[in-house]
Structure 1
Amino acid sequence: MKKYTTAPHSKLLISFGLIGFGLMIATAAPVASARAEPKQAEIRKIVQSNQSQNKEIVREGFAKWANNTGSFFALLADDVEWTITGRSPISKTYTSRKQFLEEAIVPINERLSARIVPSVRGIYAEGDTVIALWDGTATAKDGKPYTNTYSWYMTMKKGRIVKVVAFFDTIELTDLWQRIPVSKKN
């Protein structure tokens, strides 16, 4: 069996070749990462811009509602998925704007003599999610005040609300619901 050996100068050339290759990679890596950094910064700017826009859309929606110059619910996508947590008479997941308005909002409003007026405590945004913490005050048809604190977690897409998870005092809402019945319409 013949044994092959590498000549000393061949080993040296291989070593220099590997060193050269390593240096080439080492010098190319910062260039590649320098190119990647502006892209990441650009992406962060876009995300921050979307967050700011989404936050402003929600803020304007609440302002119009509070001033009685528009409906916050106009921001909802037609196929919005709105989940009301808890165990109130309206706690469930609604799968359209129409269903949510007809089965939750209209029956609440039918029990009020003065509409709910929102007072926003804070609006927070992260990615495509906007969180609103707000208080709502109204007067029920029996003259008693209706007050509640809400926290809505809204997912935004192209300036519209596509998904909501809503938290509030369901005991307060259930009390309003049971105290003031509404007539069934045929």
Structure 2
Amino acid sequence: MTLSAGRVRDIFENLASTETSSKFWARVADDVHWTIVGSTPMSGVDFLDATIQVLGNSVLTEPLKIETLHVTVGAVEDKPGMTRAAVEMKSINAKARSGKPYDMTYCWIATFDDKTELIREVRAYIDTELLIRTIKETTG
């Protein structure tokens, strides 16, 4: 059975708080295939190491919190037992160590295993120019 938009929203809404973000990451498979779409230095399949850890450790003043705006789901036609969700999000009051706001918007296309409710694949569409500029301004 396809996961509902409500269930997917419940999972993603855990990113809105540092107290609940671990509940989101628990829904991400250990062998997830995560790609930042585009042709910038941040694009590719190393999202967790190249982006999340850099942001959290040296770029932002506090851990990133993300608000879920819209969720759309559907079955994956060529992969029975999988649900694909388009999730539109934005950062919540994020600030870079440079003092500038980090007003990031996201659209993640996540593919879930319906039985385990684990995210198996993500294609992340983000403002890569903002990400790169913020990292450069903050870390030199």
Smaller-chain TM-score bracket: 0.7 to 0.9
Question: Do structure 1's residue 117 and structure 2's residue 65 form an aligned pair?
Answer: yes
**CA distance in structure 1 between the aligned counterparts of 2:101 and 2:128, rounded to whole angstroms:** 15
Q: Which residue of 2 aligns with 1:164?
A: 122
The amino acid across from 1:63 in the alignment is E
When the two structures are superposed, what TM-score results if normalisation uses the length of structure 2? 0.81
Secondary structure in 1 matching 2:95: strand
The 4+ residue runs of structure 1 with deviation greater than 6 A are: none
Question: Do structure 1's residue 152 and structure 2's residue 104 form an aligned pair?
Answer: no
Identical residues among aligned pairs (%): 30
- For structure 2, which runs of at least 5 residues remain unmatched after alignment? 76-82
Q: Which residue of 2 aligns with 1:142?
A: 98
The amino acid across from 1:136 in the alignment is S
Question: Do structure 1's residue 105 and structure 2's residue 52 form an aligned pair?
Answer: yes
Alpha-carbon distance, 1:101 to partner: 2.5
Question: Do structure 1's residue 68 and structure 2's residue 26 form an aligned pair?
Answer: no
Q: Which residue of 1 aligns with 2:85?
A: 130
**CA distance in structure 2 between the aligned counterparts of 1:151 and 1:69, rounded to whole angstroms:** 23
Q: Which residue of 1 aligns with 2:78?
A: none
**CA distance in structure 2 between the aligned counterparts of 1:58 and 1:165, rounded to whole angstroms:** 16
- For structure 1, which runs of at least 5 residues remain unmatched after alignment? 1-45, 95-99
**CA distance in structure 2 between the aligned counterparts of 1:70 and 1:88, rounded to whole angstroms:** 31
Structural RMSD (CA):
1.8
Of structures 1 and 2, the larger Rg is shown by: 1
Alpha-carbon distance, 1:66 to partner: 0.9
Q: Which residue of 1 aligns with 2:80?
A: none
The amino acid across from 2:85 in the alignment is V
Q: Which residue of 2 aligns with 1:81?
A: 33
Q: How many residues align?
A: 127
Which of 1 and 2 has higher RCO (CA within 8 Å, sep 6+)? 2
Alpha-carbon distance, 1:141 to partner: 0.9
Alpha-carbon distance, 1:75 to partner: 1.6
**CA distance in structure 2 between the aligned counterparts of 1:114 and 1:88, rounded to whole angstroms:** 25
Question: Do structure 1's residue 58 and structure 2's residue 3 form an aligned pair?
Answer: no
Equivalent pair of 2:18/2:63 in contact (CA under 8 Å)? no
